[in-house]
Copies of this chain bind each other. A is one copy, B any other.
Amino acid sequence: MSSNANWCKWARFLLTIIAFFLLGFLIGWVGRPCVNISPMKPQRIGNKLLNEMQAENIRIYLRNWTRFPHLAGTEKNLQLARQIQKQWKNWGLDSVELVHYDVLLSYPNKSNPNYISIIDENGYLIFNTSFFEKLPPGYENIEDLVPPFNAYSPAGIPVGDLIYVNYARTEDFFQLERELGINCTGKILIARYGKIFRGNKVKNAMNAGAKGLIFFSDPADYCAPGVHPYPEGWNLPGSGVQRGNILNLNGAGDPLTPGFPANEYAFRLDEGIGLPKIPVHPIGYKDAEELLRYMGGVPAPSEWKGQLNVSYNIGPGFKDSYSSRKVKMHVYTRNEVRRIYNVIGKIRGAVEPDRYVIFGGHRDAWGLGSIDPTSGAAVLHEAVLSFTKLMKEGWRPRRTIFFASWDAEEFGLLGSTEWAEDNAKLLQERGVAYINADSSIEGNYTLRVDCSPLLYQLVYTLTKKIPSPDDGYEGKSLYQSWYDKDPWTGYKEAPRIRKLGSGSDFEAYFQRLGIASGRARYTKNRKFDKFNNYPVYHSAYDTFEVVEWFYDPSFKKLLAVAQVRGGLVYEIADSIIIPFDCRDYAEALTNYANVLYEQAKQHQLQLNKYQVSFDSLFSAIHNFTRIAIDFHKRLEKIDITDPLAVRIVNDQLMLLERSFIHSMGLPGRPFYRHIIYAPSAHNKYAGESFPGIYDALFDIANAADERKAWREVKEQIAVASFTVQASAGTLVEV
């Protein structure tokens, strides 16, 4: 071969090599994904997680944790915390800490029990209410069940005439004072539990000038028709009493350290906020009947009448020959700073460890606490187990997940609020979502979800993947049974989802910090079941058996709730794009504004006179809607292999809920800072939309200064308009 041909051959060889080198280089360069990818596909992991969860496990936790009371601030509840900590550690969470705070709690005086008596004109006791509930069968030996009381009641022994005030709602006092002309000043009031949060009732009673308040559970509100009292059925027995705190904290957490965690160097107020000023005590309906039997005065309106065998007179005082008798309250409850313990477990996110999803529920209970809260705590526990099983196969969520077993929820959401205060900066900057895990059941009819509109679509998608536990829905989805049993009316073709109010540990996360939140549980048939909560709520009879015998013998409903809650946590923590839909917020805002506008239009004269217009609000919502639609169009086209592009839109999604927070809070309620939602000022449990406007419009006809009242409406419309407008701004392409 000539050297020329040889050279040619080598050149060809070299060129080929170079070509293939370049080809390789190119494929390597282009092909390298710039994002960490989980070893398993998200869809598969999600299903695996749901399938990991076992009804039987939930049953076992519930059984084990409800043998003794575990009241906040007691050794038993600390022991339970340690047990949970140990289990979570063993299962393999990255870290599990006990985080403590020293908060103001409240307990009856053990050597001086609380009760209420009827006394005659000489002061002799004619009748005393019982000190304790009869212990349920199987629990006769438990020693530390706290007797019925209302936490934070001041001590006091007021004596006076009784007035029956129905549910002690705002409207009840309006009726009492305006229509019936009855003055409550200096009287002892007796109110039935139900409809609204008991703390609101106490506030109303204080405002009315009462010197004491007695709560009772009326059978009309705490017994379902045709159902036996526990243990034969799930109704409240006559000796059963609902415990509960009577604070008006408005989101402050520990009454002595509002805004700050109750740590060792915290500054403690001389006088706590939200504390009631009058003695308050709860009784069962057996005792209530004795107090109400001989009441005098006018008969109560028919809607005020419950199902006791008495005439429901309003008073004041007793009638006829009983009229010299008085009612005397004996309350010796004391407030005390004690240590509480949250259990905080963590899985560090693989890709975005600085983004947090929080899954939390309380552990403390008034008594045995089977439904409240252990049916929730057991579900949380099973979720932790399932997540840790996935971790053993090498999985790790994209974002960090916190699991929290809160303490002292029953004393005013203290554990969760103090932790939120302790970590406010991190949570504001990094919190993607909060999923609550309080009581998993309040009935066995269908699913109930309360959540931010951002979560609607995710809830629907997820429930379509979860099997329905309902009879007659074998092989169908939870979505299907839920939709059939509780559809929206005239809003969306989907199951109804409710607004978040308060009454459980999501409060600080949603209403104060603006972290998208949700809660899910099984509920009763709200159309027909007119009783309140579930009958044995906060009584000695909230036992393991009430769940196993009556509510969910197969534990399938608890399992479905576990799958909903755990599934939400999983999807939010592991999806590349946070699975929020802003368009549902737009629709919700429109709906809320329409409702308020319709209400305001009933005062067209004043709207004109004081130049109050909703135009700016509708215009802002219109912009929000348009921008939300555009945002999701862009989202569809995003390059999910571009880590910064993904982070940028995820930040927008995460921070949208935050954009509704006004740093100074709602008028007079600095810790309720969400402009779109707040617990109702008249009932903490209920969620209110555009609360600033709603509250300004409430009872405007009776305002002392009409101009001032309408200026307030105008101001609140401006605040809401600006907030919505600014929120829309956060979704604009950056």
Contact = CB atoms under 8 A, between A and B. Distances in A.
Contact of A730 (B267, B426, B664, B711): B426
Contact of A34 (B31, B270, B643, B726): B643
Contacts of A643: 34, 643-644, 647
B29 A20 contact: no
Interface string A422-437: 1111100110000000
Contacts of A721: 265
A267 B714 contact: yes
Interface in A218-265: 259-261, 263-265
A722 interface: yes
A527 interface: no
Contacts of A27: 25, 28
Give chain A's interface residue range (CB within 8 Å of chain B): 35 or more
A581 interface: no
Contacts of A422: 726
Contacts of A354: 648, 651-652, 734
A354 B13 CA distance: 51
A638 interface: no
Contacts of A353: 648, 734
Contacts of A25: 24-25, 27-28
Interface in A370-390: none
A734 to B, nearest CB: 4
A727 B715 CA distance: 35
A663 interface: yes
A17 interface: yes
A591 to B, nearest CB: 21
A710 to B, nearest CB: 12
Given A24-B23, A648-B353, A659 B425 contact: yes
A32 interface: yes
B17 A265 contact: no
A425 B13 contact: no
Nearest to A352: B644
B32 A28 contact: yes
A208 interface: no
A384 to B, nearest CB: 21
A703 interface: no
A400 B648 CA distance: 13
A205 interface: no
Nearest to A732: B426
A158 interface: no
Which of A26, A643, A655 has most chain B Cβ within 10 Å? A643
A20 B24 contact: yes
Contacts of A426: 729-730
A722 B644 CA distance: 33
A266 interface: yes
Contacts of A31: 29
Contacts of A719: 260, 267
Interface string A2-38: 0000000000010011101111111111111010000
A423 B729 contact: yes
Contact of A644 (B22, B263, B351): B351
A170 interface: no
Contact of A722 (B261, B270, B715, B734): B261
Interface string A315-353: 000000000000000000000000000000000000111
Contacts of A727: 425
A727 B26 CA distance: 46
A721 B670 CA distance: 22
Given A28-B32, A351-B644, A429-B730, 14 more contacts: A21-B23, A22-B24, A24-B25, A24-B26, A25-B28, A27-B28, A29-B31, A29-B32, A353-B734, A354-B652, A423-B726, A425-B658, A426-B729, A664-B670
10 contacts: A13-B16, A17-B17, A28-B28, A28-B30, A266-B722, A267-B718, A400-B734, A425-B726, A429-B730, A663-B663
What are the nearest 4 A-B pairs in CB distance? A28-B28, A24-B24, A265-B616, A24-B25
